[in-house]
Each structure stands twice: as structure tokens, then as C-alpha cells.
Structure 1
Amino acid sequence: MSTTKVTTSLPSSMTAVQVVEFHKPWKINTVPTPNELGDYDILVKTAVASLCHTDSMVLDGVFPNAKLPQTGSHEGTGTVVEVGKKVENFKKGDRVMSGIPREQCGSCRDCKGPNDWHQYCANAKGMIGVFGADGAFADYHVSDSRTSCLVPDSVSLTDAAPLACAGVTIYRAIIVSEAKKGDWLAMVGAGGGLGHLGIQMAKAQGIKVIAIDARDEALELCKKAGAEHVFDARKGKDEVVKQIQELTGGDGADATINLSEHETAAPLACAVTKMHGNMIQISQPAIVSIPFAELVFRDVRVKGSLVAGQDQSQAMLDLVGKAGIKVETNIFNGLNEVPKMIDLAHSGKMKGKAVCVVDKSQV
């Protein structure tokens, strides 16, 4: 792929929050501003960058192909200031939600398959903020026009940033669950950044939501997001299953999405799902352990799901704007505040998503 020089007048250096050593605190550094773009790249003046659990995985060295230093955050929004020579779907001044994958190969089975397979391309150059490409914890960042989306006027750049990963992940999980209007959809770990969005997205599509969590703050957020049926996992699997079966006429949920990494979460997610139903696993513990009886005797089908492709991501943004879906945000101003964001996220007391307003003038 050829590259072109950035012609827009920009500062030669910028601030970036980076992982420079695994298992060590993030560093606030001064780095060169991107000055070259690939054919399909867009250069974005960052407005908002959101914190995701994956950022902790980067810090912990989970991704073997990660090379340091790595600028964090794969949940970014902003304004396009320059485009690569083959970009047709964006222009300078557009409001954008940056896509996570960069430079997918275009020739593998996943790239040639349905749009929502593209993010599985194993030959992609990288994932912004994760490996192979710097992320949005910086004054400017580069994203791929083939995975990024236009932000509707009805959605703020502050709300759109968490949607770049959390939003597209839960939106696709709902699709993969095959839950339809009038069905019961349970969510284990529903009171977090993804869950409170999923509750609203499912309800906007006429799906009946069952929210399950184990923290007081999380249960409160489930109710705030509009969940009418909220269950406390601390009462134990048997009691939660009994309550949900009573609610659903004895069958259980038509489908369930597991958003929790706790070792009891996947077994609970399967147990509350009706026989022959789907359990969608999107949390990422090292091992997902499920009792054989759920798989063999009850025929619960377990599926994994990642982020969405560009078409589904754009549909998600349009739904958020149309339905007035709200993102619970914890606002921090300026990249210097990122360490405080991380401390809050690790405290267990955060409700919703932590977001950093990088450029107030855009917000």
C-alpha cells in the first residue's frame, strides 16, 4: 500500500498516553503527530477517547503481537482532518467514530464473507489502541475508512466514543443471539458499560430484557437503563434460575448474553437459557467453563461474538440516534486525566463508561 504525506497544517508533536512497559503505569508522552496516511486511512483530530477493559489487557501483555510503546484506546471519535487518496466515504470535517481494525487483507475467507465477518481477518495490520496501530489516547489518531463510521447529528461525539467497541460489541451480540421482538433476552453482567447499552438497544427492538448482576451499583444502573426485570446473582444460581423460569412461564430466556468474566457467569448464563437456546459469550476470561449438562442434556448452543462490521456498526449508531439511547459516562477532561480514569475503572465503583474529552472545542 502506498502512503501520502499529510498536507494539512498540524503541530509536529502531540500528547499521547501509552503503555511503554507491561504491568507498569501508563505514561503521558510527547510523540510525533502522524504525517503519512495509507490509501484508505483517515487522520482524525481526536475529540473523545473512551476506556475499555481491553486497555487493561494491553497493559497486561495479553496480546502476543503487541509491540511497545502502544498508544491506548480503541474507542475514539473526532473530526476528519485528512484522508488517504483512495478514501471515498469520508471528507475533511466529517464527524467520525473510528473503526478498530486497520488494513484488513481483503482476500481471506473472512474478508470475502459477510460484512460482520470482516473484523475476524487474521491478516489485518492491527487493531487501533491494541496492537499494530496507535489508538485514540492522543491529540490525533489514524483509523481505517473501511471500518469507521459517520456519527449522526443526533449522537454526540462523547456518547459515540464508547460505542466504537462497547456499543458495536453488544449490538452484534444481540444479532447473533437471534432474539427477536417479543423474545426474552437475558444478560449476565448487565450493569456495566456494555450491558447498560444492550438493555436499551434490545428494548428499542421490542425484545424483553432480563438483567442479571452482582454489584449494587450495577443493579442500579440496570434499572436506570430501563430494565424492568433485574435479578441479583448473589442469591445463587438455583434461586436466579427459579425466578427467571417463573417470569418466563417455565422455559427460561430465549437467549442469553454473558458479559461477565467471573467463573460462575457462563454456567449461570447457560442455566437461565431455555433448552435449545443460544448463549452468546462476549466476555474474555482465560477459560470459559460450562457444565456438560447444559451443553449435552439441555442443548444450549454457545456462540462467541466480537465487534461488528462497518454496516452493522453504522446501523447501531443510527439506532442510538433514533431511539435516544443514552450512554452512562464518567467524564474526564484532558489526556492528563487518563490515569484517574483507570483508577476509577479498577475501583469497582464506576457506573457506565469512563471517557476522556481530549478536545473540548469539538464537544
Structure 2
Amino acid sequence: MAFPTSMKAIQVVAFGKPYQINTVPVPTIVGPHDLVVKVAVASYCHTDSMVTEGVFGGNKLPLTASHEGSGTVVAVGSSPSGFKVGDRVMCGIFFNSCGHCVACTKGPECQRQYCTGGYEGNTGAFDTDGFFAEYARVDARWTTHLPDQVSLLAAAPLACAGRTIWRGVQQAIQKAELRKGSWIAIVGSGGGLGHMGIQFARSAGLRVIGIDARDEALQVTRSSGADVVLDARAGQEATVAAVQAAVGNNTASSGRGGGAEATLVLSDVPEAAALSCAVTKNHGTVVQVAQPEKIIIPFQEFILRDLRLYGTLVASPDESQAMVDFIAEHGLHVQTETYDGLDKIEELLHHVHGGQLKGKAAIIVDQSQLDQETKASSRSKI
């Protein structure tokens, strides 16, 4: 398929400085597992701000931003892993994992993302060009086929945020041995990850306590289907009491032994991890998803109450496919505020940093692909 030799791209040109929109070469096939994708939608993730600030070290610059994208395959390498031109795909950040470390070869598939041998580039997964561009080069082994029921607009935020919260919910279910009717709390429930996590948990048969501290976030928590919605601004003591009242498993003889069976930490405010532990029952499970510089938990909450704390990263390739297949079956409302074209990046950032954003922010790079979906009457898209 013929396509242009140059394109527009939103790029990090210096750490701590604003993005620039540059004209750059369209990527081409380099390795056997490469795909070139015509980007339809690219969304903004919290990690994008970390890349811009240089948190991950010596990323090569300039670097095209956004590691959440969706689009249509326009070129394939010699080993395309089942992909062909015309396939609709969800694309993420991982590119050319080493292929020889324990995670890549001997560990369970659900740990493939923990490659220790290094991805392409010197600073890992965040050192490759992303999706705030008209085209992108991706690794077929880390790219996900989209079921007909999942739209390109919904898929872009799923590429990192969706994969991350999907695995967080699955970790909670597995580590805490949750069953239908079990209670799970989500601290930071009204954000881009939280509103998806509520829906994933509810569709799995769990009862959800959503906890947040912004009016807009609490509204999103309610509309996403949380069984109980709590305002963290009431303070830790009141929030813990409200969780215990909802769950009904408070044990007076143990002091404060009751609470949710598992809790997801999605907020990176300093108090979030401590609050998450406090609302979790004795011997319960806490899954840390947010990435603050330091995770602060008083020993009284962690050691004296025998909690299990797990960290989690984005989903593996098989987990990613399971996520979109689950969405195709059960449905998912991805709350997205969209911006038309790459030149709207400053408007997007204004809303993101203004604290008024509901859900995810995404740029529609190629409206024609979305229009083509609409015309495909055989598809009922999420």
C-alpha cells in the first residue's frame, strides 16, 4: 500500500519543555515483527507527563509522544504474527523485548511485560516513538487484534490505561481469590483507569466501593456503576467506617479488622496507599497500580494487619487480547474527551492539567477511519 514519506508528529524535544509539532519521516518496516499502522486515535496517559519531565532517564530526543494508539495496519514485516494489511489494531508501548531473559522465555505468559533484557532503545519501553502522529511503527507481538464490537475510539485508551487496570483487577481477583459478590475497593475510582476498573470488576460479578476526592471524579464513579461511592475528603476515619458499614464484616474484637477483601490503589497522592490499606480487611490484598515517587504505608496498617501488597504493570499480550474479547462480550463505556487533529494538543493539555477532565483525553488523528467504522453496519461498536 502506498503512503506518504513525511507526516506530522507531536514530539518531546527537550525535557520539561512544551511539545512541538514537527514534520518527520513516515516510519517504515525495519524488522521481521514490525507493523506500520495508520493511526486513527491516540490518547494521553499520565505516563506521557512522566516522559516529558524526563522521569525515565535518557530517552532519545526528539521523541513522538503518546503510547496509547489505535488504527489500521498498512504494512507488515516478514513475521507479522497473524496480522495483515487492513487489520484494525490496538497498539501499546512495548517494542522488541529482548527474547532471551526469564520473563521472555521461561516465566508464565502473564509476566512477558517484565522483560529484564531491555526493549529497543537504551531506556526501555518509553524510548520508542508513539502515536501522536499520522503513522507509527509497532511490534506485532505486542499489538492486539480488535474484535468487531470494539471501536478504534474506545481502543486507544485501552492500550495502556485499559491494559493496566484490566491486569490490576485480575491480580486482585487472583491474589485475593475473589468470587462473585466479593467486595473490592478502588481508591482513585473516578479517573481514566478507575472508571474502567469499576466496569471490569462489576462485569466480573464483584461489588465495588469507589473512593475519590473530586466532585467530577465522584460523578464519574457513580455513572460507571460503583455500588458504593465515598468522598475521601471526609477523612480516613470516616471513610474506613463507611466501608465497614457497607461491607458489614467489621469485627469489634479485632479493633478494625473489617473492610474490603481487596483494594486497588489508582491515586498517586501521598495518602492514597495508607488509605487503601486502611479500608482493606485484615489479611486482605492491596494492589498498587499508581506510580508515586514513594509509597507510604504506616506499619500499623501493613504489618499489624497482615496485608498482602502487590505491584502490577500493564497486561501481557495474551492478557490484552483477553481484555478486548471480554469487552466485546460484556461491553465497556470508555469515557473520552476527544480533540480533532494533532494541532489541538495544547487544548488537550489545558483540560488535562486543569483538573476538570472526565475519563481520558484523546486526539482523533484520522477521522476517516472512524467514519468507515460507522458505515460498516455489520459492526455494533463499543
Q: TM-score range by the shorter chain?
A: over 0.9
Whole-Å Cα distance in 1 between the matches of residues 354 and 124 of structure 2? 22
Q: Which one of the candidate residues 135, 153, 162 is aligned to 1:158?
A: 153
Whether 1:9 and 2:20 are equivalent positions in the alignment is no
Equivalent AA in structure 1 for residue 294 of structure 2: I
Q: 1:85-100, aligned counterparts within 5 Å?
A: 85-100=78-93
Alpha-carbon shift at residue 228 of structure 1 (Å): 2.1
Whether 1:57 and 2:56 are equivalent positions in the alignment is no
**Maintained 8 Å contact 2:29/2:75:** no
Whole-Å Cα distance in 1 between the matches of residues 346 and 85 of structure 2? 32
Aligned to 2:238: 239
Alpha-carbon shift at residue 344 of structure 1 (Å): 0.7
Alpha-carbon shift at residue 177 of structure 1 (Å): 1.1
Whether 1:145 and 2:136 are equivalent positions in the alignment is no
**Maintained 8 Å contact 1:127/1:133:** no
Whole-Å Cα distance in 2 between the matches of residues 164 and 129 of structure 1? 17
Equivalent AA in structure 1 for residue 332 of structure 2: I
Aligned to 1:3: none
Q: Which one of the candidate residues 316, 320, 330 is aligned to 1:313?
A: 320
Q: 1:31-110, aligned counterparts within 5 Å?
A: 31-110=24-103
Q: List per-residue Cα deviations over 1:191-237 (Å, max 9, x = no partner).
A: 00000000001100101111000000000000111112000000000
Alpha-carbon shift at residue 127 of structure 1 (Å): 10
Q: List per-residue Cα deviations over 1:108-134 (Å, max 9, x = no partner).
A: 111121112111113121599963210
**Maintained 8 Å contact 1:74/1:127:** no
Q: 1:1-363, aligned counterparts within 5 Å?
A: 8-112=1-105, 113-122=107-116, 123-125=118-120, 131-178=126-173, 179-249=178-248, 250=250, 251-363=258-370
Whole-Å Cα distance in 2 between the matches of residues 126 and 190 of structure 1? 34
Comparing 180-189 and 350-359, the one that deviates more: 180-189
Whole-Å Cα distance in 2 between the matches of residues 57 and 291 of structure 1? 27
Equivalent AA in structure 2 for residue 91 of structure 1: K
Gaps of 5+ in 1: 1-7
**Maintained 8 Å contact 2:28/2:137:** no
Secondary structure of the equivalent of 1:270?
helix
Alpha-carbon shift at residue 339 of structure 1 (Å): 1.8
Whole-Å Cα distance in 2 between the matches of residues 233 and 131 of structure 1? 33
Alpha-carbon shift at residue 340 of structure 1 (Å): 1.1
Alpha-carbon shift at residue 106 of structure 1 (Å): 1.4
Q: List per-residue Cα deviations over 1:311-340 (Å, max 9, x = no partner).
A: 111111111121121100101010111221
Equivalent AA in structure 2 for residue 131 of structure 1: F
Alpha-carbon shift at residue 275 of structure 1 (Å): 0.9
User: How large is the RMSD of aligned CA atoms in angstroms?
Assistant: 1.4
More strand by share: 1
How has the CA–CA distance of structure 1 residues 212 and 205 changed in structure 2, closer, same or farther, with 3 Å as cutoff?
Answer: same
**Maintained 8 Å contact 2:198/2:225:** yes
**Maintained 8 Å contact 1:74/1:128:** no
**Maintained 8 Å contact 1:170/1:194:** yes
Secondary structure of the equivalent of 1:23?
coil
Secondary structure of the equivalent of 2:142?
coil
* TM-score, normalised via structure 2 length: 0.91
Alpha-carbon shift at residue 342 of structure 1 (Å): 1.2
Alpha-carbon shift at residue 280 of structure 1 (Å): 0.6
Whole-Å Cα distance in 1 between the matches of residues 167 and 293 of structure 2? 22
Secondary structure of the equivalent of 2:193?
helix
Alpha-carbon shift at residue 264 of structure 1 (Å): 0.7
Whole-Å Cα distance in 1 between the matches of residues 163 and 29 of structure 2? 28
How has the CA–CA distance of structure 1 residues 129 and 155 changed in structure 2, closer, same or farther, with 3 Å as cutoff?
Answer: farther
Whole-Å Cα distance in 1 between the matches of residues 40 and 61 of structure 2? 24
* TM-score, normalised via structure 1 length: 0.96
Q: List per-residue Cα deviations over 1:244-296 (Å, max 9, x = no partner).
A: 01111112000000000101100000000111111111111100010011221
Secondary structure of the equivalent of 1:37?
coil
Equivalent AA in structure 1 for residue 278 of structure 2: A
Whole-Å Cα distance in 2 between the matches of residues 120 and 334 of structure 1? 34
Secondary structure of the equivalent of 2:276?
helix
**Maintained 8 Å contact 1:188/1:258:** yes
Equivalent AA in structure 1 for residue 167 of structure 2: R
Alpha-carbon shift at residue 99 of structure 1 (Å): 3.0
Comparing 12-21 and 62-71, the one that deviates more: 62-71
Aligned to 2:253: none
Equivalent AA in structure 2 for residue 333 of structure 1: D
**Maintained 8 Å contact 1:74/1:136:** yes
Whole-Å Cα distance in 2 between the matches of residues 42 and 347 of structure 1? 36
Whole-Å Cα distance in 2 between the matches of residues 59 and 193 of structure 1? 19
Secondary structure of the equivalent of 2:69?
strand
Task: Quote the sequence identity (%).
Answer: 51
